[in-house]
Amino acid sequence: MCLDRSAITRIEQVGGAELVVKMIHLFSANAPDKLNKAKEARESGDLKALSEAAHSIKSSSGNFGASDLFKKAELVERLAREQNQAEAYQELDVLERVLIQTLAALNEVLSEYQP
C-alpha cells in the first residue's frame, strides 16, 4: 500500500477537500524538485545535501501516510548522514521509484476530489 488513506481523510477533516487538493498539488510540484536536488548532490558527492533532500522528502511524505516513501527517504537520509556513500546512492534510485509510485497514487486520490 502506497498511501494510508486515513491520513488523507484526516487532512480532509481539518481543511476539507480544498486542502487535500492543495496539499497534493504542492507535494506533486515540490517532491520531484527535492529528488532532483538529491540526485545533484549524488553527482557532486555532497552527502550532506543528499541527507537534507531526503529529509525534506521524508517530512512531506508523512503528511499523506506515504509510509513506503517515508521509510525509503529516512533510509537514504540516514545512510548519507553516516557517510555510507555507496548504499545511499543505491537507495536513492529506489527512492526515485517509490516516489513515482506515490505520485501516481496521489494522482488517483486527486481524481476523486476533482470532477
CATH number at residue 27: 1.20.120.160
CB 99, CB 69: distance < 8 Å: yes
Distance CA 100, CA 87 (A): 20
Model confidence, pTM: 0.92
| pLDDT tens, position by position, 22-72 | 999 999 999 999 999 999 999 999 999 999 999 999 999 998 899 999 999
DSSP label of 115 = -
Domain count, the chain: 1
Q: What is the pLDDT of residue 46?
A: 98
- Name the burial class of residue 113, with classes exposed (0-12), middle (13-18) and buried (19+) by CB atoms within 10 angstroms of its CB: middle
pLDDT at residue 61, as a whole number: 94
Q: What count of residues does the chain have? A: 115
Q: 60-106 pLDDT, tens per residue? A: 999 889 999 999 999 999 999 999 999 999 999 999 999 999 999 99
Give me the pLDDT at residue 49, please: 98
In this prediction, residue 64 carries a pLDDT of 86
Domain boundaries, position 97: 5-113
C-alpha cell at 57: 522528502
Q: Identify the burial level of 99 via C-beta atoms within 10 angstroms of its C-beta, where 0-12 means exposed, 13-18 middle and 19 or more buried.
A: buried
